[in-house]
């Protein structure tokens, strides 16, 4: 893969998708094994949130100092280890061990996020067209594959520890295969060059701040499904664990389809219009999941809409951040950090609210955020005079 940097990135972003869906599909079984309440699950997921934020906040400076290669590889190794530790926590019914595994998983997810997006944005710059939707589509493809395996393991009553142990082993083999092909020095800045936008300059750029808010809202929509969708289906709609996992798999398939068609759509539809349409689809799907009770057909359609709507929001908004002014890598890094705030506040917030009002009602917070993104989407309109140096005019830019 040394001569195929795009394929290498695709394989490396597939790994966290495989990992997250492997443990999410088993979350009802993990919950029952641990004997945890909804609020306790939220606290356990706080390990994921804390790891994600430590990773995302440290990865920007690390990419600027070391380049994307060591950051991506170290972060992916943390993801693989995290999956294995979660499995151990399930084997011994230890909430603390599961939380620790989620911490290392989140550390890798957050730590690799900036590196993968900066490397993907560089490929985007070289090609002169959107690549991030396709790249994130490979993450969603990983979630689809992992969810399918999770459904089968749930139905066959395979122990969580065995399932996650095998998933971690497969991910480790993929990491070893991809490692030689990671390009060095992308995003690395020499001494004297800025390592990222200073807080004062960010605050002076309201366009970038609004784009960051869109990233936050759409990441919240995606992250909510990753953290809570099987439990929402089981506890909120009365599905059995296997069916709840199947609903999550359907969401993952919708995300995958949306992202792999996103590059083609962004070449034909203005980015801001496509983002607004995506947020609208996501809002409709969320509303149906929240307010419609006991209708499997409607819920199936709702999850497809939720997945399609969430699929393009995050990568398209990151592309918009990179095209919003000079120093594209720093802008992508900033937008990634803002978006990952959803992983910090989301799980414990929804867990605490869900304990009081039920998970379905708690998701109204997500619905409001995605609704706001519809009206903020015009801010992602590209500036004609702010195209990064060396980038040809993009057919997907708004004019």
CATH number, domain containing residue 370: 1.20.1250.20
Question: What is the pLDDT, as a whole number, of residue 201?
Answer: 58
Asked whether residue 126 is domain-assigned, the answer is yes
Helices (H), 128-190: 132-155, 160-178
What distance in Å separates the CA atoms of residue 184 and residue 192, rounded to the nearest whole number?
A: 20
Question: What is the pLDDT, as a whole number, of residue 390?
Answer: 37
Six token digits for residue 79: 């993801």
Question: What is the pLDDT, as a whole number, of residue 2?
Answer: 64
CA gyration radius for the chain? 20
> Collapsing DSSP states into helix, strand and coil, what is residue 204?
coil
Six token digits for residue 267: 């070449």
Asked whether residue 394 is domain-assigned, the answer is no
187 and 119 in contact (C-beta within 8 Å)? yes
What distance in Å separates the CA atoms of residue 59 and residue 61, rounded to the nearest whole number?
A: 6
| DSSP code at position 236 | I
Domain limits for position 121 = 5-185+198-380
Q: How far is residue 389 CA from its own chain's centroid?
A: 28
Asked whether residue 287 is domain-assigned, the answer is yes
Question: What is the pLDDT, as a whole number, of residue 398?
Answer: 31
71 and 63 in contact (C-beta within 8 Å)? yes
Nearest Cα to Cα of residue 51 among 331, 329, 340, 318: 340
Six token digits for residue 113: 């996020």
Six token digits for residue 77: 């190794």
295 and 183 in contact (C-beta within 8 Å)? no
Q: Write the burial class of residue 188 (CB in 10 Å: 0-12 exposed, 13-18 middle, 19+ buried).
A: middle
For residue 320, the surrounding DSSP H or E stretch is helix 296-322
Residues 68-99 as b/e (b if ≥16 CB within 10 A, e otherwise) read bbbbbbbbbbbbbbbbbbbbbbbbeeebebbb
Asked whether residue 387 is domain-assigned, the answer is no
* pLDDT-flagged residues of the chain (< 70): 1-3, 190-204, 327, 329, 343-344, 347, 382-399
Provide the number of structural domains found in the chain. Answer: 1
Asked whether residue 290 is domain-assigned, the answer is yes
**What's the predicted TM-score (pTM) here?**
0.75
Nearest Cα to Cα of residue 71 among 18, 2, 137, 12: 12
Asked whether residue 39 is domain-assigned, the answer is yes
Asked whether residue 235 is domain-assigned, the answer is yes
Asked whether residue 193 is domain-assigned, the answer is no
Question: What is the pLDDT, as a whole number, of residue 178?
Answer: 93
Question: What is the pLDDT, as a whole number, of residue 307?
Answer: 94
Six token digits for residue 342: 């959803």
What distance in Å separates the CA atoms of residue 33 and residue 147, rounded to the nearest whole number?
A: 20
Question: What is the pLDDT, as a whole number, of residue 192?
Answer: 52
Q: How far is residue 99 CA from its own chain's centroid?
A: 19
What distance in Å separates the CA atoms of residue 316 and residue 56, rounded to the nearest whole number?
A: 19
**pLDDT tens, 180-226?**
989 887 877 765 544 444 544 555 677 888 888 898 899 889 888 87
């Amino acid at each position: 893969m040394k001569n195929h940097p795009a394929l290498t990135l695709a394989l490396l972003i597939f790994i966290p998708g495989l990992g997250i869906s492997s443990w999410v599909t088993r979350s009802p079984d993990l919950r029952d094994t641990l004997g945890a309440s909804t609020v306790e699950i939220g606290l356990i997921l706080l390990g994921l949130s804390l790891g994600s934020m430590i990773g995302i906040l440290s990865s920007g400076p690390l990419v600027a100092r070391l380049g994307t290669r060591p950051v991506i590889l170290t972060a992916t190794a943390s993801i693989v280890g995290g999956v294995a530790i979660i499995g151990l926590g399930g084997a011994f019914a230890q909430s603390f061990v599961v939380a620790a595994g989620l911490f290392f998983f989140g550390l890798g997810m957050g730590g690799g996020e900036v590196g993968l997006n900066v490397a993907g944005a560089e490929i985007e710059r070289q090609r002169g067209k959107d690549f991030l939707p396709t790249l994130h589509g490979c993450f969603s493809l990983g979630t689809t594959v992992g969810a399918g395996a999770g459904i089968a393991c749930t139905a066959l009553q395979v122990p969580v520890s065995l399932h996650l142990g095998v998933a971690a082993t497969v991910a480790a083999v993929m990491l070893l295969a991809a490692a030689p092909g990671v390009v060095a020095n992308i995003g690395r800045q020499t001494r004297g060059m800025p390592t990222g936008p200073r807080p004062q300059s960010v605050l002076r750029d309201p366009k970038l701040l609004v784009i960051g808010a869109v990233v936050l809202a759409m990441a919240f929509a995606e992250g909510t499904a990753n953290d809570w969708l099987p439990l929402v289906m089981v506890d909120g709609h009365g599905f059995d664990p296997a069916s709840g996992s199947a609903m999550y798999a359907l969401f993952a398939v919708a995300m995958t389809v949306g992202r792999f068609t996103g590059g083609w759509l962004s070449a034909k539809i203005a980015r801001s219009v496509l983002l607004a349409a995506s947020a609208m689809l996501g809002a409709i799907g969320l509303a149906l999941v929240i307010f419609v009770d006991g209708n499997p057909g409607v819920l199936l359609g709702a999850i497809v809409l939720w997945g399609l709507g969430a699929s393009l929001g995050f990568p398209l908004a990151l592309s918009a951040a990179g095209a919003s002014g000079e120093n594209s890598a720093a802008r992508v890094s900033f937008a990634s950090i803002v978006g990952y705030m959803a992983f910090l506040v989301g799980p414990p917030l929804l867990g605490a609210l869900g304990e009081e009002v039920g998970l379905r009602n708690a998701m109204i917070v997500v619905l409001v955020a995605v609704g706001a993104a519809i009206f903020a989407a015009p801010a992602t309109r590209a500036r004609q005079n702010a195209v990064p140096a060396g980038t040809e005019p993009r057919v997907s830019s708004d004019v």
